[in-house]
Amino acid sequence: MKILYFSASGNTEAFVNKLKDYGDQQHQVDSTKQTIELMRIEDESSFDIIEEPFVAFVPTYLDGGNGLDNGTQEIITNTLGEFIEYKDNSKRLLGVVGSGNRNFNWQYCLTAKQYAQKFSVPFLADYELRGTQADCDKIYTILQKVFSK
Ligand SMILES: Cc1cc2nc3c(=O)[nH]c(=O)nc-3n(C[C@H](O)[C@H](O)[C@H](O)COP(=O)(O)O)c2cc1C
């Protein structure tokens, strides 16, 4: 199960690594359970064609704004969106998982919701900061369903 992700301060990186370890453990117990392949997108990444179905994990970074009628403009994570837009990559995007911080209230995980809308795919799940083990279990189960369709 291929995951493309962006991580500026390491939280998403920590969570997807936890998810990959969990997938490896699940696969060892039951070989029908799929493992996870990670691909980190960074500002320096050169655009490439993704041949297989994938899911995107994106944290939320939005410009200041007043939290009411503005402040929804994506910053920092843009390269991931551009990577998905490259050639036909978006056709292989199965869904988006978002992360953020609930202190941002209604802006919580908004970038992932914006991606889901923009690319017409489901917003699959959310988790806060580095996520919990319960988030890991839940999201692995969701990914299994999404990738087996
Ligand atoms: C400048 C800045 C803006 C942020 N804006 C939002 C936001 O609008 N909504 C949200 O849910 N989280 C917001 N966050 C929280 C981050 O999404 C959260 O810390 C996330 O785990 C960062 O992931 P990363 O460490 O993989 O980059 C913001 C964090 C920073 C530093």
Measured from the Cα of 10, ligand 1's closest atom is 25
Q: Tell me what pLDDT residue 70 has.
A: 65
Please report, rounded to a whole number, the percentage of residues in the chain having pLDDT higher than 90: 89
Distance in Å, CA 128 to ligand 1 centroid: 9
Q: In one letter, which amino acid is 53? A: P
pLDDT digits (tens, 9 = 90+) for 28-85: 999 999 999 999 999 998 999 999 999 999 999 998 666 556 668 899 999 999 999 9
CATH for 2-148, options being 3.90.1150.10, 1.10.3720.10, 3.30.465.10, 3.40.50.360: 3.40.50.360
40 — phi, psi (to 5°)?
-85, 130
Q: Tell me what pLDDT residue 65 has.
A: 63
Residue nearest atom 9 of ligand 1, based on CA coordinates:
108
149 has a pLDDT exceeding 90: no
Measured from the Cα of 129, ligand 1's closest atom is 21
Instruction: List the domain boundaries for the chain.
Output: 2-148
| 3-state helix/strand/coil string of 33-67 | CCCCEEEECCCCCCCCCCCCCEEEEEECCECCCCC
